[in-house]
Amino acid sequence: MTITRNGTPEAAADLAHAMFTEPGRELGREATTILTHAPDTGLVQRREAFRPVYEAIVERIGQPTLLGGAAYGPSVRWCTAERLLLLSGDHGHAALSVHDTHAFARQEWFTFDSTPGSTPDGAHRLGDLPYTWQLDRKGPGQAPSWTYNGMRVADNWEHAQSALELMLASWAEQIPVQAPGDWVGFQLRSARDWNRDMVIAYTHRDHGHEFYAAIYDRDSEQTPQRAAQMRERGWQDLDEHQRWRIRLPETDPQAPATIARVVIADVRARGATCPDELTAWDVSAGDHGDLRVPGIGVQVHPSRGEHY
């Protein structure tokens, strides 16, 4: 992996400052790459290469107005009423671009509104959204009035599983850099089993960051047969509160996909017939700010509740 712009985070920060503050800078021009990754670079390695670049930019121009991430890279914005600096990217690079705030927000809203749920050949388009999640912690500047806070429900179970996998991977790659020390997650409920909460999260323990999911199973007798059934769905163990759990380290490259597979397998086993019957509740990042998740693949309840 290689940092461009003279090879230092400080050079990237100088560029960000110039793009954001110089009135003569052309708005809407092609983005300038500030970081590249080799094709085989893993999630944690990409994140740790991105960290010093991001921190240098923040030190130079201040905290972002809006945090966020797309399915494959960052989506961070510094905004004034006239000017928007975007730090974006994918698994191969990170780049800076500057835009007219109103025009950019209006076009982005149109992109959200017009992106179909799937392609003619059946592939889902949730990974193509401008951002899959956005965190508003009332940072400095002025957030665009057109900020999108809708949702896109997946067309089928395969799409829902993929959307959750992409969301979890994006959180793991971006949250420790943009919101260090915070957990992020939500509760999931099914219309067919409404009073049963499932918790899905990316969090940190003494031994490092991990993906986590758990579901209460108090209404079932915990026989060897039940244990075999739950483990077949992918759950690892039963805790003292009669919750089945799975914990996977972020260093496991298959962890986001595994958690997503277990979640979808369980809600289907309990009677859910389509993603429309699922609702995400209490979507939060450290109980701090408003977390929007248009790429989560299920309905989102507007209220937030207690820390789980």
Bridge-based pairing of strands 243-249 and 208-216 is antiparallel
Cβ atoms of 307 and 186 within 8 Å: the answer is no
Whole-number Å distance between alpha carbons of 294 and 250: 23
From first to last of its 308 residues, the chain has per-residue pLDDT tens of 444 545 699 999 999 999 999 887 788 788 999 999 999 999 999 999 999 999 999 999 999 999 999 999 999 999 999 999 999 999 999 999 999 999 999 999 988 888 766 666 767 788 889 999 999 999 999 998 777 777 889 999 999 999 999 999 999 999 999 999 999 999 999 999 999 989 999 998 878 899 999 999 999 999 999 999 999 999 999 999 999 999 999 999 999 999 999 999 999 999 999 999 999 999 999 999 999 999 999 999 986 543 33
Q: Domain map of the chain by residue range?
A: 2-127, 157-300
- Only one residue has tokens 């219309």, namely 191
156-174: burial string, b at 16+ Cβ within 10 Å, e else:
ebebbbbbbbbbbbbbbbb
Which pTM value belongs to this model?
Answer: 0.93
Residue type, 295: G
Which H, E and C letters describe 88-155, residue by residue? EECCCEEEEEEEEHHHHHHHHHHHHHHCCCECCCCCECHHHCCCCEEEECCCCCCCCCCCCCCCCECC
